[in-house]
């Protein structure tokens, strides 16, 4: 079971990495989305995230990134 400190590390690394890799049109570009999925899965594996939950977590991260990236592009 992953503890809170590990989950915080995962969240921080995911946010930093996704922010660095999104472009204005990333939600329209399949290749960028595929690259982000690979990056997110690598981070989850790095911290021992349960393999059976990685797909759902990856999807959630990308959905949240789509919502937040509009704000990131403005900032």
Residue whose entry in the numeric block shows the structure tokens 């960028």: 32
pLDDT higher for 33 or 2? 33
Instruction: Give the up-direction half-sphere exposure of residue 63: CA atoms within 13 A in the CB hemisphere.
Output: 6
Please say whether the beta carbons of 13 and 45 come within 8 A.
no
pLDDT (tens digit, 9 = 90+) per residue, 11-48? 999 999 988 888 778 888 899 899 999 999 999 999 99
Beta-carbon contacts of 14 under 8 Å, excluding residues fewer than 6 positions away, are 40, 43, 61
Q: How confident is the model at residue 72 (pLDDT cuts 50, 70, 90)?
A: low
């Amino acid at each position: 079971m992953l503890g809170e400190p590990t989950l915080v590390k995962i969240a921080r690394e995911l946010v930093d990495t996704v922010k660095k890799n999104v472009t204005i049109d990333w939600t329209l570009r399949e290749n960028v989305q595929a690259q982000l999925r690979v990056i997110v899965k690598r981070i989850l594996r790095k911290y021992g995230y349960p393999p059976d939950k990685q797909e759902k977590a990856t999807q959630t991260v990308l959905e949240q990134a789509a919502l937040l990236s509009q704000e990131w592009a403005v900032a």
